[in-house]
A and B are shown apart, each in its own frame.
Chain A
Amino acid sequence: MTEKQSKTAISRRTFLKTSTLVVTGTAVAYGAVSVPLLRRDRLLLRPPGALDEDIFLASCIKCGQCLQVCPPQVINLAGISQGFGVGTPYIIPREGGCILCSGLPCVLACPTGALAHDLSLGKDAEMGLAVISNPDTCLSVLGVNDLIYRLENFQKKKTSSSDQTELKDILSSLIKRLTEDEKKVWQHKFSLPEISDKTLLEILKQLETSDLEWIINFAGSSSQAQKACQVCLSECPIKDEKPIVFIYRTHPDTGQKYVWPSVRKTCVGCGVCEEKCPTPVASVKITPRLSWSEKQAGNQTRKDKLT
């Protein structure tokens, strides 16, 4: 007992010194490391209803309840590498955009109102705006059909054990777009009573390399080939007020006519178009928190600092 007490007595002499060191050390080190490192110059795409970035960062309690209730599970929690705001929710549109599901459960789940509760409809969200970031690769500018593009790409990188889910996805989309007459040709080709999602697995099963070529050729000569890619619009969760319209434009130098996907005011920046864009690097990208008025002012690539 006496031994124990004497031990603490000795170490207590140093405690004041050490404790002060710890307190100041923690504060200084934390401030020094965090402030320059964590103030990022690029904004993250926040879930719908998010307050302005500064007040959002202040309000978010980092509980992750928005992430728990998200039906498509597209919300992630930021780590150190995402900078300021460890544990705050964000969406990576290329990996999965917000589908603006009805009721907006993430907004309802937020206990602090960092996702503002006055937002009740997905189409009223202001997450950002879609921007055609790579017009050179955009299939609708190039006038290329998305399914044929994907089929050809699939064939190019095809190895013996190629990704069946990708092919299934392409064929499923293709079948939906076939006309009745074209379906009959398919029925004959694969000797199936009907061509639909139900028989898709049958087709996949008996599909050989030569058949894939047949499909590509078929699609190339069918009504499909005439239609340029409109995936961003067809996948957009806002259905009634088209956020993207395809307008004809004339190239100022060459006089060539081309189609331009024009983003309209109704776009909320959910990110589904970026997710579904068939080009290897998405041709359309979400600029988080870009507002319509800012875009009108010609500010398309907002990279300004948070203050």
Chain B
Amino acid sequence: MKNTSDKKNKKQAKVKSFKGPGLRSQNLPQPGHRRHKWRNIRWAVLLFFNFLFFASFFFDIQILEGTLSGSRLLGFHLIDPLAAFQVILASKIIMVNLIIGVVTIFLIYLLFGGRSFCSWICPYHWLAELGEKIHQHLKKKKIIKNHTFDRKIRYYFYGFFLAMALITGYTIFETINPVAIISRFIVYGPSLMLIWVMALLIFEILYSRRAWCRYFCPVGVSYQLIGLVSPLRIKWDKEKCSNCKRCQSVCMVPHVLTDSVNRGATEYINASLCTRCGLCVDICDDEALGYGLKYLDKLI
């Protein structure tokens, strides 16, 4: 710790730090532990749902029609909350369908853990995950350096674009929303806006690891709010953890694990930024991390 600043030392001294039993050697995973179990399941789910969007138009299979901004699941409206709020603010009209769509989204993600939208559904997240691999490879070879931004920018963006919708009377963010652009690309074919998405991806690969999802994307903020109350969370087992902290090296938002892994304070990963992607569950050879239901685990 000699290289870190004094400020940091002080801050860490205040925090009651947690040291695991450290019994387990790094090279001995729990028997039967599969390193890519949840990632593979998650990718399959993500690709499946995006295929459903694609199939709704291409094969006219009407299960999940529309795009990620607004769609219908077996006829029920689903509307991305940020897009819905923008439309309401821009048009100054409250449409019942929008409210229904947002409430349905709320109920669905209440069951499945808020920002799980990002890692389990969002096609940009998937592309960014592939980009992250390239980024990590280049970083390992010391070709590039990672740069970080303020994580709060996402909230500023959320407020900024909602305000812009109200002022300009136009859903400005929806024209540059990479999630919607990719979703439209999947269903209706390419558009020039894909250049912007490519630029974002290149920025992430060369300059800042997972920059869009990590610091900027306001779409996830809505889901984050749902995640605050959703019981589905990553559960951390104090007894099993050997405190290797590899979970934090794979996590897109590593600070969400701090309360548990570093301080030993909470059993569940409570921070709303957690996307429930399960990368930490996969990497944990101690099997100290897993999916759990806060409030409900004990009842069951």
A111/B70 in contact, CB under 8 A: yes
Asked whether A9 is an interface residue with its Cβ less than 8 Å from the other chain, the reply is: yes
With both chains docked as a complex, state the minimum distance between the C-beta of B121 and any C-beta of chain A, in angstroms: 15
B-side contacts of A69, CB under 8 Å: 65
- Distance in angstroms from A130 CB to nearest chain B CB is 28
Evaluate contact between A77 and B184: CB separation under 8 angstroms: yes
What residue in chain B is nearest A18 (Cβ atoms)?
B149
* Shortest Cβ distance from A13 into B: residue: B5
Interface size class of B (residues with CB under 8 A): 35 or more
In the complex, are the beta carbons of A58 and B171 less than 8 A apart? yes
CA–CA, A67 and B56, complex, Å: 11
Evaluate whether A2 and B171 lie within 8 angstroms (CB atoms) in the complex, with A62-B69, A68-B57, A80-B192 already known: no
Cα A12 to Cα B215 with chains together (Å): 13
CB < 8 Å A-B pair total? 152
Give the number of chain A interface residues (Cβ < 8 Å): 46
CB of B174 within 8 A of chain A? yes
A214 at the B interface (CB under 8 A):
no
Q: Which residues of B contact A64 (CB under 8 A)?
A: 57, 66-67, 184, 187-188
Is there an interface contact between B79 and A111, defined as CB atoms closer than 8 Å? yes
CA distance A1 to B248 in the complex (A): 12
B140 contacts the other chain (CB 8 A): no
Within 8 A of A (CB), among B93-111: 93, 95, 97-98, 101
Let me know if A55 is at the binding interface, CB within 8 A. Answer: yes
A58 touches B184 (CB 8 A): no
Question: Which residues from chain A contact B10 at a C-beta distance below 8 Å?
Answer: none
Does any Cβ of A come within 8 Å of B48's Cβ? no
Shortest CB-to-CB span from B136 to chain A, Å, is: 13
How many Å from the CB of A5 to the closest CB on chain B? 5
Which of B23-31, B84-92, B220-228 binds A? B84-92
Are B84 and A19 within 8 A (Cβ)?
no
Q: Is the CB of A6 within 8 A of B172?
A: no
Closest chain A residue, CB of each to CB of B2:
A2
Q: Would you call B72 an interface residue if the criterion is a C-beta within 8 Å of the partner chain's C-beta atoms?
A: yes
B73 within 8 A of A: no
Q: Are B180 and A62 in contact (CB under 8 A)?
A: yes
User: A22-30, A121-129, A178-186, A285-293: which lies at the B interface?
Assistant: A22-30
B146 and A61 contacting across the interface, CB-CB below 8 Å: no
The interface residues of chain A lying within 8 Å CB-to-CB of B5 are: 9
Interface residues of B in 35-79 (CB under 8 A from A): 56-57, 65-67, 69-72, 77, 79
> Which residue on A lies nearest to B157, using beta carbons?
A23
- Whether A9 touches B8, Cβ cut-off 8 Å, given contacts A65-B66, A111-B97, is yes
Q: A2-B2, A80-B191, A111-B77 known; A86 and B87 CB under 8 Å?
A: no
Which of A8, A67, A79, A109 is in CB contact (< 8 Å) with B192? Answer: A79
Given A11-B147, A68-B57, A87-B184, verify A62-B174 contact (CB < 8 Å): yes
List 11 extra interface pairs beyond A58-B91, A62-B184, A87-B174, CB under 8 A.
Answer: A6-B3, A57-B170, A58-B90, A60-B171, A63-B70, A64-B188, A68-B56, A68-B57, A80-B192, A111-B79, A112-B70
Give me the interface of B with A, judged by CB distance under 8 Å.
Answer: 1-5, 8, 56-57, 65-67, 69-72, 77, 79, 83-84, 87, 90-93, 95, 97-98, 101, 145-150, 153, 156-157, 160, 165, 169-172, 174-176, 180-181, 184, 187-188, 191-193, 215-216, 245
What 5 A-B pairs are tightest by C-beta distance, nearest first? Answer: A63-B70, A58-B90, A6-B3, A58-B91, A19-B150
Q: List 8 A-B contacts (CB under 8 A).
A: A8-B148, A11-B145, A15-B148, A30-B176, A58-B169, A64-B188, A111-B79, A112-B97
